[in-house]
Each structure stands twice: as structure tokens, then as C-alpha cells.
Amino acid sequence: MTNTNWKDSLQSEEAFNDFIITYFKDHKQLNGNYETPSYYEYYTVTLNSKKGLIITLISSVNPAVNTDAPTIPFKDVETISVEEFRQLILHKKFADMHTSLADVFQTVAGVPGSTN
């Protein structure tokens, strides 16, 4: 039986792996963003059965007001195994926080201001 609470599933590698697989069967991908007037980041997390979790991060500086200068977004793709992700969560102690799985992905992706 697959655990429906991601925090409870952290107790074992197998339970967390099952949770992540089920999560991405139901959702296909997880999207998030962080934006200020001067900066933005967008991320997408998908699950690849051979590579693990694939986090795609696109970030850029917003152009200054009254400036026609374009900005070029930076794209970074990180691949992490489900178990490596579980270990990151355990070491950062997200299990003790009142956070959603999306908040955890956002924090692991390094988005500023993503922890309360």
C-alpha cells in the first residue's frame, strides 16, 4: 500500500520511492516559481524511471524599468535520485516543518524565501 503522506513516507527508502512514483503518476510534473520585481525563477520537476528526479530551473533578472535591454534566461537541469532527494529532506529536517511537497522541491531547488 502506498503512503499518501510524504512526511510519513520518509521513514523508509521503499515507502518514499513508492510515494514519489505514485505522486508523479498522478501529477506528471511539479511546477513552481519565485518572482520579485527584479528577478524570477521557474522550476519544473519530473520523474524519469532511469535517471530519477529531473529539476529544470529557469532564472533571469527582470529588465530595469524604461530599459529596452533584453535579458537572457539561464536554464539549469539537475538530476537527483529519489533516495538522494529523501536524504536531502531528512538532513534539512523538512519532516518537522509544516510544508507541502511543493515547498520542499522549491527549497531544494534553491529558490530564495522558500522556507518559513
pLDDT at 9: 84
pLDDT at 95: 47
pLDDT at 71: 76
pLDDT at 110: 56
**115 has a pLDDT exceeding 80:** no
Greatest alpha-carbon pair distance for the chain in Å reads 57
**1 has a pLDDT exceeding 70:** no
Spatial distance between the Cα atoms of 104 and 85, rounded to a whole number of angstroms: 10
**116 has a pLDDT exceeding 70:** no
Q: What is the DSSP string of 50-89?
A: TTEEEEEEEEEEPPPTT-------EEEEEEE-HHHHHHHH
Q: Long-range contact list for 21-29, CB < 8 A, 24+ apart?
A: 21/47, 23/101
Convert the pLDDT of each residue in 51-89 to its tens digit.
899 988 888 887 766 667 677 888 888 888 999 888 877
- 3-class DSSP state for residue 33? strand
Convert the pLDDT of each residue in 8-39 to its tens digit.
888 899 999 998 898 898 888 988 887 877 78
